Amino acid sequence: MFELMFPALVASLVMVGLHGYLGIHIIARGVIFVDLALAQVAAMGWAAANLGLGQWIGDLLGIPAAVAGYSVGLGATLIAAALFSIARMEHDFVPQEAIIGTVFVVASAATILLAAQAPQGAEHVEELLTGTLLWVTWTDITRIAIVYAGIGIVHWRFRDRFLMLSLDPEAARTKGLSVARWDFLFYALFGIMVTMSVAIVGVLLVFSFLVIPAVIAFLFTSTPSRLLVIAWTSGVVATCLGLFVSFQADLPTGPVVVCSFAFVLLAAFALRPVVGRVAAHKNR
């Protein structure tokens, strides 16, 4: 079990680190499905690349097909990121969630159409949804760790601005920050992360890594440092539990880990009243 699951565990923990942090921003911004939309756009790009577009671009530019394929997925994701960055309207007539939902639906339909043109299209769609976490290599892990570290450094350097844009965009406008430009940087970095994640763990697990730990954290606190600790802790527990159950029951890893995240979320809901009573007792 250790030999088989250890690379998958390490890859998952690397993803939990950055996804858990960015998930807090996503929940605070109220754009819950932006990660699902960007993940689906990345999946659409990967589907296009696997149909020969990646090979064609690789031959044209003289680069490996794998690099070209990633570039197609990333390019599609960055276009969506640019759209999201200008979609934060100053009025409520066109909510940003409407734009996000439209992008998700169109990207999903395009992915199905692209997969329908390929041999074994149904299997390809299933792989894009559930990923191939169990077959991740140490080369993949090293690559995502380096890229995620770079994204983390940028977020740490500009953490005050990113937090202000997520928690109080009106204050950011008052201070003269260009919301559209900073939003584009946020979504572009987010898109880079999602594009790499989708190729390994699939759309469903990307959503689980990002949203569920952040939701669990917000159930108990609103303090940024505590939010991070709870999100990371719950993500690690859900990941380890899912991988263990997947191995013991001989079930597909991706779907089991997603269900494990759901189980930990239900446990958090059950635990919340107990934590509240303990905190009230201490404050007496």
- pLDDT tens for each residue of 75-92: 888 888 787 777 665 555
Please give the residue range of the domain that contains residue 152: 2-282
76 or 278, which is more confident?
76
**d(Cα 196, Cα 250) in Å, to the nearest integer?**
26
pLDDT computed for residue 65 by the predictor: 61
Question: Phi/psi at 136 (nearest 5 deg)?
Answer: -65, 145
**d(Cα 69, Cα 49) in Å, to the nearest integer?**
5
Q: What is the mean pLDDT of the chain?
A: 81
pLDDT computed for residue 119 by the predictor: 67
Q: What is the DSSP letter of 134?
A: G
**d(Cα 271, Cα 68) in Å, to the nearest integer?**
47
pLDDT computed for residue 42 by the predictor: 80
Per-residue burial over 31-48, b if 16 or more Cβ lie within 10 Å, else e, is bbbbbbbbbbbbbbbbbb
pLDDT computed for residue 153 by the predictor: 94
User: For residue 180, what pLDDT band results from cuts at 50, 70 and 90?
Assistant: confident
Q: What is the CATH number of the domain that holds 93?
A: 1.10.3470.10
In the chain, % of residues over pLDDT 70: 82
* Average pLDDT of the residues in 139-151: 92
39 or 65, which is more confident?
39
pLDDT > 80? residue 276: no
* Range name among 74-78, 154-158, 268-272 with the lowest pLDDT average: 74-78
| In 117-249, alpha helices (H) | 121-130, 138-157, 159-167, 169-174, 179-220, 224-249
The answer for residues whose C-beta is within 8 angstroms of residue 134's C-beta and 6 or more apart is: 4, 5, 8, 246, 253
pLDDT computed for residue 238 by the predictor: 95
- pLDDT tens for each residue of 22-37: 999 888 887 777 777 8
Three-state SS for 63? coil
Question: In the structure encoding, which two tokens stand for residue 149, read together?
Answer: 């570290």
User: For residue 149, what pLDDT band results from cuts at 50, 70 and 90?
Assistant: very high
Q: Please report which helix (H) or strand (E) contains residue 42, including its range.
A: helix 34-48
User: For residue 176, what pLDDT band results from cuts at 50, 70 and 90?
Assistant: confident
CA of residue 282 relative to chain centroid, distance: 37
Helices 34-48 and 96-116 pack at an angle, to 10 degrees, of: 30
pLDDT computed for residue 257 by the predictor: 93
Question: In the structure encoding, which two tokens stand for residue 265, read together?
Answer: 């979320």
User: For residue 106, what pLDDT band results from cuts at 50, 70 and 90?
Assistant: confident
Number of separate domains in the chain: 1
pLDDT > 60? residue 283: no
Report yes or no: 118 and 51 within 8 Å, Cβ to Cβ.
Answer: yes
pLDDT computed for residue 118 by the predictor: 65
**Cα atoms found within 13 Å of the Cα of residue 95, Cβ hemisphere only:** 9
Would you tell me how many other CB atoms lie within 10 Å of the CB of residue 230?
A: 22
Report yes or no: 37 and 108 within 8 Å, Cβ to Cβ.
Answer: no
pTM exceeding 0.75 = yes
69 or 248, which is more confident?
248
